[in-house]
A = this chain, B = another copy of it.
Amino acid sequence: MTQQAAHRRASIADVARVAGVSVGTVSNVLNRPERVLPGTRERVEAAIEELSFVRNGSARQLRAGTITTVGAIVLDIANPFFTDVARGIEERLDRDDFTLMVASSDDDPDREQRYLRLFEEHGVQGVMVVPATNDIEHLLAVRRRGTGVVLLDRPSSDPTISSVAVDDVRGGELAATHLLDQGHTRIAFLNGPHTIRQCADRHDGVVKALVAAGLDPASALLEVTVTSLNAEGGEAAIRGLLESGDQPTAVFCVNDLVALGVLRTLRTEGIAVPTDMAVVGYDDVAFAAELSTPLTSVRQPTHELGARAADLLLSGPDAEAEHVMFQPTLVVRSSSSS
């Protein structure tokens, strides 16, 4: 099937032969150069160069066991929230010369499972996961087998598994309370599926705020499930909403990409923001402040989130599990307040 190049990659034995030494010596040159006589070392290095030898990572790892790589599985690599988190992770990892590989599950439990398995089989030190489902049994299993696991952007329901999250209930509450304060009594929530914990939590926060204001969520809250959590999903959802009668006066979007799609649609439809419709997003991504209608959004400490998660992962498998919970803040801009 895969014949790659004409000849096999050079192995350590080939190098040894060319240099006229044993394989053990080549290995020593590679791993503990100080133990080998300069003359010999040079000969070996010349042979390595000549054969353009590259270590076989699989063999190396099979024997040595250890590796300085960690994995991260996020829901959507195209979402700036997750890439900002990834930057936080990378930064922390750099300090310990660890390497990060990112994969995106696309909210698909099967894909998550596949990447998880891939990472585990290749023996990463640990993996940071934004789970696509509420059930984390499979993650506990990974953990039991000895691979570090840190839940990302999601509080852990299990005391033995570390997590770094932002209080999503509070986030939903902040957004809803703000809209209520602005006089809205009927709020649409363009949310993702409740199988994603963050979405369920934000929903709970919204309900909490409505109840606290003496409203009945059944009538005051109109939740719409967005199929894909990006601008296209937001556009589709708001269009559906506009076509039905009985419209709300405010829309709370589960993230800023969805909000972007909403703003875009409202503009083309000639609906004024915030006068005809108030909009609130989530994540406070870089461009939120610069939109034609600057977007009110719930800000999360993305960078710290990632850095802290990496920190916990590197603290080793024997460290006590920790559950870090950051607090979101609301950044009010003109999309929701005139």
Contacts and interface: CB of A to CB of B under 8 A. Distances in A.
Interface of A: 1-5, 9, 52, 54-62, 65-66, 69, 77-78, 80, 83-84, 86-87, 90, 99-104, 106, 114-115, 117-118, 120-123, 125, 141, 144-146, 230-231, 257, 260, 263-264, 267, 286-287, 289-294, 316-318
Contact of A121 (B57, B257, B286): B57
Given A57-B123, A145-B52, A290-B260, A103 B100 contact: yes
B83 A77 contact: yes
Contacts of A1: 66
A72 to B, nearest CB: 10
Report whether over half of chain A's contact residues are helix, strand or loop; otherwise say mixed.
mixed
B90 A114 contact: no
Nearest to A232: B286
Copies per assembly: 2
A167 to B, nearest CB: 24
A169 B194 CA distance: 47
A102 B102 contact: yes
Contacts of A5: 144-146, 317
A290 B289 contact: no
A146 B9 contact: yes
Contacts of A62: 56, 58-59, 62
A59 B56 CA distance: 11
A286 B263 contact: no
Nearest to A121: B57
Contacts of A117: 54
A320 to B, nearest CB: 15
